[in-house]
C-alpha cells in the first residue's frame, strides 16, 4: 500500500498534470524503489510542462494573443503550483502515517484538504477576468475548460492510486 501512495505522490504535481502512459509506466517501474524528493519534483515539473504543451496544442491563439496569454498563464500556473504544493504535503503526511493513522489525524487531513479545493476554485475565479483581458471570451472559456479537464484527469488518476483510509487496518 505504501508503494501505491509513493506513486501517487509522484503523480501529485497535482492537479495540472495530464499523466500520459509513459509517466504511469515510469512510476510503476519505481514501485519497488524509494522515490526521492528530487524525482518527485522533476516529475511534477515535467507534468506542468506537458500541461502547457497540451494547452498550446489545443488552444488556437493568434501570435498577438499568445504573446499576451503565456505570461499570464505562467503566473496562473505558479499560483496553482503553490496550492498543489500544499496538497502534496498533505499526501506525504498521509503516506507517512498510513497504517497507524488515528481517527483524529484522518479527520485533520480531510479538514485541511477541503480548503485547497476551494482555493483552486477561487484562483480560477480570480483569473477569468485577467485572462479575458488578453483573450476573447470563447478562448477564455476554452482555456478554463481545458484546465478543468486536465485537472479532473489528474485527480482521477491520483485518487485511484491512494488507498482509502479504512484500508490501513
**Residues 6+ away with beta carbon under 8 Å from 11:** 17, 19, 23, 24, 27, 43, 47, 154, 157, 158, 161
CA 142 to centroid of chain Cα atoms: 19
pLDDT at 11: 44
The total of structural domains in the chain comes to: 1
pLDDT confidence band for 166 (50 / 70 / 90): confident
Is the model more confident about 37 or about 24? 37
Residue 28: which domain range? Answer: 2-168
**Angle, helices 63-97/103-132, rounded to nearest 10 degrees:** 180
CA 10/CA 23 separation, integer angstroms: 9
The predicted-structure confidence for 67-120, as pLDDT tens digits, reads as follows 999 999 999 999 999 999 999 899 889 888 888 899 999 999 999 999 999 999
- Report in angstroms the alpha-carbon separations of 15 from 22, 33, 65, 89, 100: 18, 24, 25, 14, 27
Give the range with max mean pLDDT: 11-15, 16-20, 145-149.
145-149
Is the model more confident about 142 or about 49? 142
Mean pLDDT, rounded, for 128-156: 94
Amino acid at each position: 500500500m505504501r508503494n501505491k501512495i509513493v506513486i501517487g505522490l509522484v503523480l501529485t504535481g497535482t492537479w495540472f498534470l495530464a499523466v500520459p502512459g509513459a509517466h504511469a509506466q515510469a512510476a510503476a517501474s519505481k514501485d519497488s524503489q524509494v522515490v526521492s524528493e528530487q524525482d518527485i519534483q522533476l516529475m511534477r515539473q515535467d507534468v506542468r510542462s506537458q500541461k502547457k504543451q497540451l494547452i498550446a496544442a489545443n488552444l488556437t491563439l493568434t501570435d498577438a494573443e499568445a504573446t499576451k496569454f503565456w505570461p499570464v498563464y505562467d503566473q496562473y500556473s505558479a499560483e496553482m503550483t503553490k496550492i498543489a504544493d500544499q496538497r502534496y504535503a498533505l499526501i506525504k503526511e498521509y503516506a507517512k502515517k498510513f497504517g497507524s493513522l488515528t481517527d483524529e489525524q484522518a479527520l485533520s487531513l480531510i479538514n485541511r484538504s477541503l480548503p485547497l479545493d476551494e482555493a483552486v476554485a477561487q484562483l480560477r475565479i480570480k483569473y477569468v477576468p485577467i485572462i479575458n483581458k488578453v483573450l476573447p471570451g470563447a478562448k477564455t472559456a476554452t482555456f478554463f475548460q481545458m484546465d478543468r479537464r486536465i485537472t479532473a484527469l489528474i485527480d482521477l488518476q491520483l485518487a485511484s492510486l491512494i488507498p482509502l483510509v479504512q484500508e490501513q487496518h
